[in-house]
Amino acid sequence: MSKRRVVITGLGAVTPYGAGVSGFWDSIVAGKSGIDTILPSEYIDLDRNVVTIAGEAKNFSMDDYIEPKEAKKMDRFIQLAMVAADEAIKDAKLEEWGDIDPYRVGVIVSSAAGGFRTFQENHHKIIERGPSKCSPFTIPAMIVNMPSGRISMKYGYKGLNKVVVSACATGSHSVGDAFRSIQWGDADIIVAGGAEATVCDVGVGAFSAARTLSKRNDEPQKASRPYDKDRDGFVMAEGAGVLVLEEYEHAKKRGAKIYAEVVGYGQTADAYDVVAPRPDGEGAIKSMEFALADAGLTPQDIQYVNAHGTSTGLGDVAESQAIAKVFGDRNQNPQLAVSSTKSMHGHLLGGTGAVEIIACVKAITDNIVPPTINLDNQDEEVADLDYVPHKARQKEVGAALSNSFGFGGQNCSIIVKEL
């Protein structure tokens, strides 16, 4: 059986700019930061946390999407996934299309961390009142497979249903696995992506203790600054990205709007360290090379790379050098633009890969490359690449590559291109 072509027919997102792909895209094209001081809540003690900034998903009402009674049974990461999936499914017009075989529609919407808030809340109950006071919904509210499960239940999708857990590469691996499954005939349509909601004492406190988060509490909008010499860590964010992937002929037959085609998927392991990337970038290099080979493209065929670019000291250097080795530096390949949209929306952990693939799709459809903001003084150790500093750029983008790298050394590269 030959590999089938796979296209993207629906997009959905919840980000620090609110619910909706249009608000997300308009904001990052404008170079607007979604990072701010964390809002007070029962889930975080701002007086005792060293870090008090994050990219929280706000400016929308969850009640507009999920019945309050049902929402209480879900951790926030599940709720965010449901909102993003609702937009993507409506965008693809799947509910309007009557001739659907539910066993040919799958769901792979994953999370890296799962229900941190639910875990924290019920841990407090155990300490204060004993284990019997745990909510009966604790387990189904916190386990990472529940976004996929809940989405399938709501829409009646009975095909393959699973999740991928690979830290910050989770969302990208989910899209990649959906791509492969459709290529080889396991499904005709798959709703795929990732979601995360770790803005709570457990999430912020633990990542801060690991010395990975920026402590620029007094300047939230300037805290995420990939490739800048004054960067001091990434900024945690929450949200979800969901895409509808569909077999090309299937999409054409039902008259679906097609945004772009998924053409390449590369995945490797550093086999090096639980947190730090390989200094020589070997795993990242191979991931990108495998994606290019899978797509049948050369480095010169790619106009834009959405970098993992977390604003960490080691990560930015290793990835940038890897990109330069694959694609050439600014002098060798002047047509290549590279940017880190995390400079604006922060790091959505398991949700970030899917959100950034959406940014690549929009770069192709709109021929605009989003910027890397806060790049005031480029670190001399990062590769000499065009990081699109400060302002978005009109540029014809025929193909784009998105990188996502996770703790544990798990690397993923996805290539999308215009049809």
Q: What stretches of 23-85 adopt beta strand conformation (E)?
A: 36-37, 53-54
Q: Is residue 347 among the annotated active site residues? A: yes
Helix axis angle, 170-183 relative to 352-366, nearest 10°? Answer: 70
Q: Is the pLDDT of residue 289 over 80?
A: yes
Could you give the domains of the chain? 6-253 (3.40.47.10), 266-417 (3.40.47.10)
- Determine phi and psi for 328, rounding to 5 degrees: 90, 155
Which pLDDT belongs to residue 99?
Answer: 83
Tokens of 413: 């590269």
Tens-digit pLDDT profile for residues 31-47? 999 999 999 999 999 99
Give the mean model confidence (pLDDT) for residues 317-341.
98
Q: Is 124 a catalytic residue?
A: no
Q: Given pLDDT bands bounded at 50, 70 and 90, which one contains residue 5?
A: very high
- Between CA 353 and CA 373 the distance in angstroms is 19
Q: What is the pLDDT of residues 103-139, one digit of tens each?
A: 999 999 999 999 999 999 999 999 999 999 999 999 9
Choice among 168, 200, 360, 412 that is catalytic? 168
Catalytic entry in 173, 250, 345, 347: 347
For residue 44, the model assigns a pLDDT of: 98
Residue 97: what pLDDT?
80
User: Parallel, antiparallel, or unpaired: how do β-strands 260-269 and 410-417 relate?
Assistant: antiparallel
User: End-to-end CA distance of the chain, in Å?
Assistant: 22
pLDDT at 186 > cutoff 70:
yes
Asked if the model's pLDDT at residue 419 lies above 90, the reply is: yes
Number of other CB atoms surrounding residue 342 within 10 Å: 27
The mean predicted confidence, pLDDT, of the chain is 97
Residue 191 has pLDDT above 90, yes or no: yes
Strands 105-110 and 189-196: parallel
Q: What's the token pair of residue 325?
A: 């080795």
Token pair, residue 328, equals: 């050439």
What b/e readout covers 233-263, taking b as 16+ CB neighbours within 10 angstroms? Answer: bbbbbbbbbbbbbbbbebbeebebeebbbbb
pLDDT band at 1 (very low <50, low <70, confident <90, very high): low
pLDDT (average), residues 335-350: 98
Considering the candidates 308, 345, 360, 412, report the single residue annotated as catalytic. 308
- pLDDT digit string, tens, across residues 355-405: 999 999 999 999 999 999 999 999 999 999 999 999 999 999 999 999 999
